[in-house]
Chains A and B, each alone.
Chain A
Amino acid sequence: MLSEFLQFLFSGVTVGATYALAALGFTLIYNASHVINFAQGEFIMLGGMLTVAGVSAGLPLPVAIALAIAAAAVVGMLVVRFAIQPAKGADVVSLIIITIGVSLVVRGLTQISLGKGTHSFPAFSGSEPLHVLGATLLPQSLWVLGVTAAVVALLGWFFSRTLTGKAILATAYNRLAAQLVGISTNKVLFLSFALSAALGALGGVLVTPITMTSADVGIMLGLKGFVAAVLGGLGNGLGAVVGGLLVGVAEAMAAGYISSAYKDAVPFVMILFLLFFLPRGLFGARVTERV
């Protein structure tokens, strides 16, 4: 009983950590620009797929990973330059549509250049499972959790201690005021997309040895990351992490105890319930339209 539960919990937390990174990416971009970036999932996919490409080209794994994350960050900045900036002044829905378009382009190009197949690369420190109270735990899961925790801590430090981090927060809080005190909100936009892309890619890299990857994994991962972000209260960083873990665990529990076929439906059922019953509870006060 306990071992079974633990087993589900381990796999849930592992996948949840990836969702958490994706959700953090959503949150970052949302705060900096009020854009809901539907291309976030493609960054996760890029992380995994580009590492695969690097490894198969003969690069050592750490180099391939570093390049993949850097490349994803560059793609993030290209997205700002060629899709977000030119659409200045577009409303929320138009921006959502634009990022959906971007995600199609990224996915399509990846499919064309790297193929449709499913890939993986070796786990960072072997695949000999550890045994914990009757449940097995992959060493890669520890990598996922450890790195995610480190990243969250690093982001916390970045936003509370560095000038750049504070500039991003200031922009999130009040864009105009931030501009008035001399913050380049443009730079903030680029930075937040690059950072989000890197976070997403990192998640993709970490989880690929466990779940494998292919050019079309981005949609589901991205959407689930979005669910996690909304669950945690869109715009709230810590909430995003909690939301991610929650989605991952709920999904794993549902897969284990109810039906693995409906695993993918779980986050969406969660989000519908949330939107129905707690829209204000989790998102804070309702904004009153000024007339």
Chain B
Amino acid sequence: MRRSRYPGLLALSLFLALLPLALPNAYTYDVVVRILINAILVMGLNLLVGFAGQISLGHAGFVGMGAYSTAVLTTHANWHPLPAMAAGAALAGFLALMVARPIFRLKGQYLTMATLGLGIIIAIVIGNESAWTGGPDGMPVSSLSLVGFELSGEKRWYGFMAVLLVFSLWSCQNLMDSPFGRAVRALHGSEVASQVVGVNVGRYKVAVFVLTAMLASVMGSLTAHYVGFLTPGVAGFFHSIELVTMVVVGGMASLYGSIVGAALLTMLPQLLATLEGWETVAFGAILVFTMIFMPRGLVPTLAARFGRTR
């Protein structure tokens, strides 16, 4: 992490600025916007999974909380989108905090179980409270207007999300290259060693978990506004698995990897659209192959091959 982060950020910004030249229509814009949303989401999840080494199989639950908080509060209570988004994040953060404190005393498989259970419960609640959420039929969401500027149409969204991605990357890099981030990475490397230098391991795990949950919630809110229509699948188990797959394929503890992972696996269903049913198989196979042949993930493996470390 010693290397300056600005050449990378600059290259990414340049790429995102030039990309529209290669996007022929609204459909391709739409795919790219989804990639950008997922990329930020996956970067956040990577802080927990890749950097802190703690698995979460229920992360889509937090995405769903954000998405539905936004949808329900703006639709049923006439809230402005921004406070609705904040409320969703606060709710997700609070829930994450309540759950994480007892969970993080546990290791590996129990943590998996707890995050999974939490995610499923959230999904079930969303699916069942039809009066508020429309249940399995879903519900529409109004578009997002920020201080008088209506965010609608794929192109505007592209611009907004591109800027947000670069900002998110920059701030995640900053975070992981700070005393906080080093403590988080250290507890992944050796819990006992980080304890001995004064890191309250439990507290840091909880902090990262809450942070990622809130980020997921905010991205969920944005997804809701962008897509304009929500179904409970956004909070479902399969979505959680998709997110973890993106982290793993792109590369544990690699933020650029998260962008690559999100891009590849968001495009995959589009590519496989003609082969109905193979999407699930492809996802599964990619997961298995990556874990076996490239356990560090695509970007770190390639980076190592070309003589760079991260």
By a beta-carbon cutoff of 8 Å, the part of chain A in contact with chain B is: 36, 82-83, 86-87, 90-94, 96-98, 100-109, 111-112, 219, 223, 226-227, 230, 234, 261-262, 264-265, 267-269, 271-272, 275-277, 279, 289, 291
Contact = CB atoms under 8 A, between A and B. Distances in A.
Contact of A93 (B112, B120, B279, B287): B112
Interface of B: 53, 55, 57, 99, 102-103, 105-106, 108-110, 112-114, 116-118, 120-121, 124-125, 128, 191-192, 237, 241, 244-245, 248, 277-288, 291-292, 295
Smallest CB-CB A-B distances: 4 pairs = A104-B284, A101-B287, A108-B281, A108-B280
B114 A271 contact: yes
Given A97-B287, A101-B284, A108-B284, A272 B292 contact: no
A129 to B, nearest CB: 29
7 contacts: A92-B108, A103-B284, A105-B280, A269-B121, A272-B114, A276-B102, A279-B110
B292 A108 contact: no
Contacts of B287: 97-98, 100-101, 104
A62 B244 CA distance: 41
A14 B280 CA distance: 31
B277 A272 contact: no
Contacts, number: 129
A140 B280 CA distance: 33
A86 B292 contact: yes
B286 A101 contact: yes
Given A97-B287, A100-B287, A105-B285, A265 B110 contact: no
Given A92-B108, A101-B284, A275-B114, A112 B277 contact: yes
A94 B113 CA distance: 15
Contact of B113 (A87, A93, A100, A230): A230
A97 to B, nearest CB: 5
A223 B116 contact: yes
Q: Which of B99, B113, B241 has the most CB of A within 10 A?
A: B113
Contacts of B279: 108
Contacts of A36: 109, 112
B109 A98 contact: no
Nearest to A272: B117
Contact of B288 (A105, A267, A268): A105
B113 A226 contact: yes
B148 to A, nearest CB: 42
A227 B118 CA distance: 13
Contacts of A109: 281
A227 B108 CA distance: 15
B288 A101 contact: yes
A112 B284 contact: no
Contacts of B109: 36, 92, 96, 234
B248 to A, nearest CB: 6
Given A100-B241, A275-B102, A268 B128 contact: no
